[in-house]
Each structure stands twice: as C-alpha cells, then as structure tokens.
Amino acid sequence: MKKLFITVFILQTTISCITIKQAPEIDDYVVRSGKEFQKKNFTNQTAFIFQNDLKMVDFRSFLADKFNMVSFKDTATIPVTIDGTPFELHVFTPTKNKKNINFINALINKDADEITIDEEIYDYVGISVSRVDDLDCLSENSIYHKLVLNYLINLKDEYFEL
C-alpha cells in the first residue's frame, strides 16, 4: 500500500503541470538571429535581445525621451552615431506567452472541470543594428560587432538604472 501511495504521489507531481508553450527567461541579454527568437514580425538579422521589465518605464518611452522622438511604434528605426560612425537601430518589442496546463486540482478532486491553463506573458526588447555598408552589425563577422554590442549593453544598463 505504501508503494502504491508513493507511486501515485510521484505521478501526480510529475504530470500535474505540463508546459505547452515556453517563453525563454533571459537573465541579462542574448545575441542571436531575430527569426530564431520569434518567427513572426522579427528580423533575420542578428539581434540584441533582453527581457523588458514592465514595472519600469516602457522601453519605447525611454527611447523616445533619450532620442527626442515624438512617437514610437512597435517597430522603429532610430539613427545613432557611435564613436563618429552612423548606424541605424531597428527596435522590436515582441511578447511571448508561457502556457501550462495544470492538472493538480483535477487529480486531487477527480473533477476534469478543475483543469486550468496558467499563462504568463513575457515582454522582450530586440534591437538589430545596420549601416549602409553592413546590414548586420551584430553579426560575429562584422567589423562593428564589438563597438555596437558595447553600445547596446550600455543602453540596456542605462534603461535598467532608471
């Protein structure tokens, strides 16, 4: 009887919650293909991606203030100069959902109506950078890679210091 109880308990805890849609949690930032991160409405270029903290000032508002922009859309192109070299920042603000099906209450109460779907929404900021002579300045092969990456790290840090 004890073995049966332990087996049922282990099964309940291991299958009580199934993730059906996963959203990555990014501690600091990642640099990778935009399409690899989100297939729809994102760039094919290499992107600097970090998780947006919704408790803070919205990143779009931060950029509008920093670069004296009148308005900011979900996707924007911002001209910047880094060490005397002109670039264009292409900013995207995608969201991803994490969905879990929770069976625990249904298993405990033996009632299928108690199956719930828990959903968490994650907001991200993605930035790709280009120049007239280099369409993907964040690419490992770009001569501007380190310069641009350092600029974006500092921009992100400035945003999080608000």
> What is the predicted pLDDT for the residue at 119?
66
Could you read off the pLDDT of 31-57 as tens digits, one per residue?
Answer: 987 666 555 555 678 999 898 877 778
Could you read off the pLDDT of 69-110 as tens digits, one per residue?
Answer: 876 665 578 899 999 999 999 888 776 666 666 666 655 666
Whether 16 has a pLDDT exceeding 80, the answer reads no
Residue 42's contacts (CB-CB under 8 Å, 6 or more residues apart) are 34, 35, 92, 94, 126
Instruction: Say whether pTM exceeds 0.75.
Output: no
Residue 65's contacts (CB-CB under 8 Å, 6 or more residues apart) are none
